[in-house]
Amino acid sequence: MAPVGGVSTFEAAALARRKALSGGSGPGALLRNARVAGIACFACLGGLLYGYNQGVFSGVLTMNSFKEHMGDYIEDQNADSLAWNSSKQGWLVSILELGAWLGTMYSGFLAEILSRKYAILVNVGIFIIGVIIQCTAVVGVGHNAILGGRFVTGMGVGSLSMIVPMYNAEIAPPEVRGALVGLQQLSITLGIMISFWIDYGTNFIGGTGRSQKEAAWLLPLALQLAPAVLLGVGMVFMPFSPRWLVHHNRESEARSVLAKLRGLPQDHDLIELEFAEIKAQSLFEKKSLAENFPHLQDLSAWSTFKLQFVAIGSLFTSRGMFKRVIIATLTMFFQQWTGINAVLYYAPTIFGGLGLNSTSVSLLATGVVGIVMFIATIPAVMYVDSWGRKPTLVVGAIGMALCHFIIAAIVGSFSDDWPNHQGAGWAAVVMVWLFVIHFGYSWGPCAWIVVAEVWPISNRPYGIALGASSNWMNNFIVGQVTPDMLKHLKYGTYIFFGLLTTLGAAFIYFYFPETKGLSLEEMDILFGSVGVAEREKERWREVHAEVGLTELLARAGVYTESGEHVSEVEKEKPIISDTKHDEVKV
């Protein structure tokens, strides 16, 4: 069923029937689907690894024992400060994002050829290899080990960041799918928060000066292995995605897996309905592939590999699609250039530049960043559908820009004499915390929602991949240039990020249309590609009839051949339900 926008009469009938059989959504639905919720929470260890990796290195960079292994990446190994060469420090941090960009490029291919389950296992293996390589940095001069290890680790987390939400969405029933997929964003922020506080604790191993032990930085890096190994071992016992099984013509196995996930017999009406919907989605994708890319429809490994790039290239061929490309790529561009990952990757360094000269105090302030970001994400996951995308993004961007400008004013006024202006320094720290809050409820989750929902169904996987590619590449650039910016621009760094964030607010306000509650047909009119959704609608009618879903709903008494959606409560009173403007999350 179409997961975004308004619903047709047929979809409303299917939704009504599903609700009648499943008991609706809400906390009760999570309890009824405890097995699925448990599997999804377990799979979200992949998001935890992603978040942990984003946060852990910021603290490690400040540790003296780590700097002693970095050779010429430190400007003077004999000086007490052990100051970084800013450009080389940028490479140590940003190389992870370059690997993650590569990971997003192969993730769709791997997930389709091997299955979602085995693709997660492969990427866990890649991640573990990367962590082990990083830990070998303890032997001699280790910057090469860190560079190589973080690149390989980045490949793993980048791919997992795409595949885990896909797996969760495909095993979850519609009534809890939004909540379970939203767990990914929460697990990322949880991983960031945990990493910041582990850094704070291990920083004291052997003292905070030149006597600091190697375990202070080895332990937080090596601890990544624990959830990774747990995820890898556990995934062996997890089920395949029913949707992937159907798509690869393993229908009897798919029905069996689906029944076990729901805890119902295979002939239960709810299993019949959901299985028919899965078959319809798979058949729709195959028909779309046959129409748009007939030379790549054999589902071979080579065709699947080529399909990703050919399909992404096709998004640039019409004006309506190109407008969506601009929305997706620039939204991700502005998300990264708010400076959020400059804060996450270099928070202790930033706080040190705001007058918190003690490494332990800087790490403590960094720990608070993790807490406030995690808390700020929760209301966004719960209420963004009622707030709307556009106002949430605009308000968040304005809030972040104001924080940047206030920090710039404080740093420009007092940075030459922090000891006598400690109150001003802490005011700047509070502005950083407030900046993270504004990001947490707005651009953090909303940017990904926008990138997912602006595309027609047949183009959505490739559109999301394009948006993710923009995200990681800009992430890489931000990580690379931030140390040099902090060193040479100083308070100008915050003015720069503030101006770009203001441009992001203007882009959303003047160019981005509100997409909340729009049907796919309305989305086409909005982006100037009229007819795409109408063709897809006709294809859906054919598919629904072919897999028997139309007959199934008619037999249940909730849909008639004339297109009427019959109420479950009043089956005697046929009504045409126009839900064109109602947003239903399925």
397-446 pLDDT per residue, tens: 999 999 999 999 999 999 888 888 889 989 999 999 999 999 998 998 88
pLDDT of residue 575: 34
Of 374, 492, 384, 370, the closest CA to residue 432 belongs to: 370
Q: What is the pLDDT of residues 101-152, one digit of tens each?
A: 999 888 888 888 888 899 999 999 999 999 999 999 988 668 899 999 999 9
What the block records as the tokens of 363 is: 């790490």
* Distance from C-alpha of 585 to C-alpha of 431, rounded to nearest angstrom: 35
Q: What is the pLDDT of residues 256-302, one digit of tens each?
A: 999 988 888 988 888 888 888 888 878 887 887 788 788 877 767 78
- Radius of gyration of the chain measured on its C-alpha atoms: 25
Write out the two tokens for 326: 């601009």
The two structure tokens encoding residue 572: 């005697």
| 188 in Cβ contact with 50 (< 8 Å) | yes
Q: Where are the alpha helices (DSSP H) in 337-459?
A: 340-352, 359-387, 389-414, 422-441, 443-453
- HSE (side-chain half, CA atoms, 13 Å) at 248: 16
Check residue 8 and give its pLDDT. Answer: 57
Burial class (CB in 10 A: 0-12, 13-18, 19+), 31: exposed
Gap between the Cα atoms of 212 and 382, Å rounded: 44
User: Counting Cβ atoms within 10 Å, is residue 584 exposed (0-12), middle (13-18) or buried (19+)?
Assistant: middle
Question: Measured over all CA atoms, what is the biggest interatomic distance in the chain, rounded to whole angstroms?
Answer: 87
Tokens (6 digits) for 112:
């389709």
Residue 351 contacts residue 362 (beta carbons within 8 Å): yes
CA quadruple 11, 15, 16, 17: dihedral sign: positive
pLDDT value at residue 152: 96
Q: Provide the pLDDT for residue 530.
A: 56
CA separation for the pair 434, 468 (Å, rounded):
26
Q: Is 302 helix (H, G, I), strand (E, B) or coil?
A: helix
- What's the rounded Cα separation, in Å, for the pair 120 and 135? 23
- Cα–Cα distance, 463 to 455 (Å, whole number): 7
For residue 583, the model assigns a pLDDT of: 37
Which residues of the chain fall below pLDDT 50?
1-7, 565-586
How large a percentage of the chain has pLDDT more than 70? 83
* Contact present, 427 and 435 (Cβ < 8 Å): no
To the question of domain 33-241 being in CATH 3.40.30.10, the answer is no
Chain position carrying tokens 């100008």: 492
Residue 338 contacts residue 504 (beta carbons within 8 Å): yes
For 299-326, write each residue's pLDDT tens digit. Answer: 677 888 888 788 788 888 877 788 889 9
CATH 1.20.1250.20 region(s) of the chain? 33-241, 319-530
Q: How crowded is the C-beta side of 64, counted as CA atoms within 13 Å?
A: 19
214: left (phi over 0), alpha (psi -120 to 50) or beta: alpha
Query: What CA–CA distance (Å, rounded) separates 243 from 452?
Result: 19
Note the CATH number of domain 319-530: 1.20.1250.20
The type of residue at 522 is E
Q: Cα separation of 15 and 177, whole Å?
A: 14
Helices (runs of H) and strands (runs of E) counted in the chain: 26, 0
Q: What is the pLDDT of residue 282?
A: 83
Q: Residue 106: how many CB atoms within 10 A of its CB?
A: 18
C-alpha pair distances (Å), 223 with each of 43, 200, 216, 495: 18, 14, 12, 37
Give residue 408's identity as a one-letter amino acid code. Answer: A
Q: What is the pLDDT of residue 109?
A: 83
Please give the structure tokens belonging to residue 547. 């897999």
